[in-house]
Amino acid sequence: MPEPGLLTLPAPAKLNRLLRITGRRPDGYHELQTLFQFLDHGDTLHLSPRKDGELRLTPALPGIAAEDNLILRAARALQAETGCRLGAEIRLEKRLPLGGGLGGGSSDAATALLGLDRLWGLGLDLDRLAVLGLGLGADVPVFVHGRAAWAEGIGERLTPVELDTPWFVVIHPRVAVSTPAVFGAAQLTRDTPPITMARALQGGASSWRNDCEATVRELYPEVARALDWLASRAPTMLTGTGACVFARLPSEAEADRLLAEATRHRWQAFLTRGVNHSPLHAVLGR
């Protein structure tokens, strides 16, 4: 039986089905065009209220100080924005790898924002929560809004889209990729011509690419090996700056067979399906 006052919520992963880097701003951030899609796989947060205003998160994540943890930063931002005097016990079931390009930290933060808004009875709308989320990271707003999206700017200007929902086999090559290292690399492509959302969608998945892939291949040979192995079996791409790579399959049966082969070759892999409506929003009815 669930504990009284306990709220259990998913924090779904995402894939970048397309990632184009169209420029670099004077502040160092990169201008992007990308397609975000959610997965029916991710972390889970268990939230229960505290009356004393304290925020407690268990377990601690290795190598991440409490003040840097996006879940706690999200909770503190929500307290500060609303003046709420309540706190929370938060337990994280972590399934998504750190430095994997699946948006785990951003998704955890968004789930904390939406979950604590519900738990504390605040009633903030998604736009206001997304503004709070943007202060935590460029990928947080898409998880707050909960719709597959075409994104521009640094990834914060979102237009909802409906994408195909294939099955995916995702491989994590057991290495954490540093996003700053990839975006700081001299050889990174930064001048891809912008395209319209309509043109991107008309081109379809067979024409989509990730401008980070060549640089990540050069910096992380483990990722290059995973890309090569998977691409020899199905259409394959890097998500975000990696390290995870994914293959697109038309049926669950084909995805099952590929997952079994990946497991035999000792890859760390999982099977999932793309979804256009976040599992978090489905649970919360938003």
For residues 124 and 241, what is the distance between their CA atoms, to the nearest angstrom? 32
Within the chain, where are the H helices? 70-82, 104-119, 126-134, 140-145, 179-184, 197-203, 213-219, 221-231, 252-264, 279-284
For residues 201 and 149, what is the distance between their CA atoms, to the nearest angstrom? 11
C-beta pairs of 253-256 under 8 Å, 24+ apart in sequence:
254/167, 255/167, 255/168, 255/169
139 annotated active-site: yes
| Residue 158 identity | L
Q: Which residues contact 33 (CB under 8 A, 6 or more apart)?
A: 18, 19, 20, 22, 150, 151, 152, 194, 195, 200
Q: Which of 43, 108, 117, 139 is catalytic?
A: 139
Q: Scanning the structure block, which residue is given the tokens 């049966």?
A: 253
According to DSSP, the β-strands at 30-50 and 87-93 are: antiparallel
Task: Return the closest-CA partner of residue 223 out of 201, 203, 209, 238.
Answer: 238
Please state the φ and ψ torsions of residue 77, each to the nearest 5 degrees. -65, -40
Q: Which of 14, 43, 108, 117 is catalytic?
A: 14
Cis peptide preceding 59, ω within 30 of 0: yes
108 annotated active-site: no
Which residues are marked as active site?
A: 14, 139
